Amino acid sequence: METVKLSQIVERLAPELSPYLTSRELDLRIVLRDGLALLEPADVMEIVQHSICNGQRQTLLQ
């Protein structure tokens, strides 16, 4: 297992997504079961989507 910031994932595998994410989203900590080295670009899209949805859900709950 490895914990990294979403910004590290985006910078490494999908830098084109960076302008569309807030600094708060980029600062989220993500736990990767198999580590950063085994991530695929499709995995990044899924992680970003879930991170955005979770962030919006937290905002609505407050």
What average pLDDT does this structure show over 35-47? Answer: 91
**Which two structure tokens, joined as six digits, stand for 5?**
């910031």
Rounded Cα distance between 41 and 31, Å, is 17
Alpha-carbon 25 to chain mean position: 7
- Host domain of residue 9: 2-61
Residue 11 reports pLDDT greater than 70: yes
Residue 58 reports pLDDT greater than 80: no
Phi/psi of residue 47, nearest 5 degrees: -65, -45
Q: Based on the structure, what is the number of domains in the chain?
A: 1
Q: How confident is the model at residue 61 (pLDDT cuts 50, 70, 90)?
A: low
What average pLDDT does this structure show over 54-60? Answer: 68
Helical segments of the chain, H only: 6-13, 23-26, 41-61
* Residue 31 CB partners (closer than 8 Å, separation 6+): 1, 2, 3
What average pLDDT does this structure show over 1-15? Answer: 95
Residue 60 reports pLDDT greater than 60: no
